[in-house]
């Protein structure tokens, strides 16, 4: 009797034939392996989403100590174990806009992009739209225009070194006190991002007379009152144009809302005998912001803000 225990036989042409059982087992095995790979990739993606969200929240927590007093500058650093891309997302819609942070991290040598974003309503983070590395430096300065609007936070990566060329004394004093190793004032080279003041041919060119910063073939404007002029200057230096303009819009929207609140405060103070000498100035400031919230109009807005400050300081009852 012929034995049929063999599953693999030769046909008359010498080719190999597979029984149905063997063929089914191979197909089933391929399907199982595919499903296992698919589930594993989904689990890795889900895990990456969780890590991204948790790290984003940790960054938000670390930003809180950078809240400053009226005169101080604060500095800190963040170290992340995995090579990370921080996506700085600015949204200027709504009443105040919002600050978004999205992280992409390297996994098995490849960048894993996630859709998880952490949004913060009361932070203003100035940086390139995407910065990459493991260690990130941050410092902050208060921005008064004329009353305190917010703390401006600047973020850079240790992977990129900045070198200030012929910077004025107040800038050197301001920045050197931060003790950030990726900021230099000498030994500039073609490996550093060179920042020139008023002259030179650098990656970033600052003109203190016109209050402009030229970078990546784009020009943005900065302004302020007194020492606070430097606050937006640093913002323009360390940001790209899209991020800078969006954050400036958010700051001006906040200034407009604060002006409205101070007008309400004036009404309440009139009940205790204070005269209203400030509402007109605040109205002018609000109207100007309503017509433009780009950096190009900052000097004009700064002049109106200076008038508000002057009128407030000269009044019997100071409002702000």
- Tell me which range, 80-89, 174-183, 250-259, is most confidently predicted by mean pLDDT: 250-259
The torsion angle over the Cα atoms of residues 70, 130, 80 and 45, rounded to 10 degrees, is 130
For tokens 């992009």, name the residue. Answer: 113
- Report d(CA 273, CA 97) in Å as an integer: 37
Distance of CA 171 to CAs 133, 161, 183, 184, Å?
A: 26, 17, 12, 12
Q: Which residue has the higher pLDDT, 30 or 229?
A: 229
Q: What is the mean pLDDT of the chain?
A: 80
Dig out the tokens for 52 from the structure: 């991204």
Contact partners, residue 268, CB within 8 Å, separation at least 6: none
Which runs of consecutive H residues, i.e. helices, occur in the chain? 20-63, 169-176, 229-238, 241-270, 279-291, 298-314
Distance of CA 293 to CAs 127, 287, 288, Å?
A: 19, 11, 9
Please say if the pLDDT value at position 69 is more than 80. Answer: no
Residue ranges per domain, the chain?
Answer: 50-248, 254-314
Query: How do strand 212-215 and strand 204-207 relate by DSSP bridges?
Result: antiparallel
pLDDT in tens, 96-124: 899 998 888 887 778 877 776 788 888 99
**DSSP assigned state of 239:** S
The torsion angle over the Cα atoms of residues 16, 17, 19 and 24, rounded to 10 degrees, is 80
Mean pLDDT throughout 161-189? 92
Q: Which residue has the higher pLDDT, 74 or 40?
A: 74
């Amino acid at each position: 009797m012929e034995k049929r225990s063999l599953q693999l036989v030769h046909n008359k042409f010498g080719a190999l034939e597979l029984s149905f059982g063997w063929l089914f087992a191979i197909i089933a095995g391929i399907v199982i392996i595919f499903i296992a790979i698919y589930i594993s990739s989904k689990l890795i993606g889900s895990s990456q989403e969780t890590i991204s969200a948790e790290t984003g929240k940790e960054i938000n927590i670390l930003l809180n100590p950078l809240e400053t007093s009226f005169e101080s500058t604060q500095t800190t650093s963040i170290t992340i174990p995995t090579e990370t891309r921080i996506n700085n997302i600015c949204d200027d819609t709504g009443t105040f806009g919002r600050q978004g942070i999205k992280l992409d991290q390297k996994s098995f040598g490849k960048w894993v992009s996630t859709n998880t974003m952490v949004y913060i309503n009361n932070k203003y983070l100035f940086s390139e739209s995407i910065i990459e590395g493991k260690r990130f430096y941050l410092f902050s300065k208060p921005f008064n225009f004329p009353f305190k609007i917010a703390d401006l936070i600047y973020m850079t990566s240790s992977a990129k070194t900045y070198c200030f060329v012929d910077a004025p004394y107040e800038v050197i004093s301001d920045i050197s006190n931060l003790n950030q190793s990726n900021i230099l004032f000498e030994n500039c080279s073609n490996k550093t991002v060179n920042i020139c003041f008023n002259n030179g041919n650098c990656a970033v060119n600052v003109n203190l007379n016109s209050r402009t910063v030229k970078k990546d073939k784009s020009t943005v404007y900065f302004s302020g009152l007194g020492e606070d002029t430097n606050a937006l200057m640093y913002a323009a230096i360390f940001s790209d144009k899209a991020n800078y303009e969006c954050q400036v819009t958010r700051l001006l929207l906040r200034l407009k809302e604060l002006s409205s609140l101070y007008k309400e405060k004036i009404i309440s103070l009139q009940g205790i005998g204070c005269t209203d000498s400030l509402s007109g100035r605040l109205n002018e400031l609000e109207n100007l912001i309503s017509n433009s919230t780009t950096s190009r109009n900052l000097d004009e807005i700064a002049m109106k803000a200076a008038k508000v400050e002057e009128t407030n300081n000269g009044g019997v009852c100071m409002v702000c």
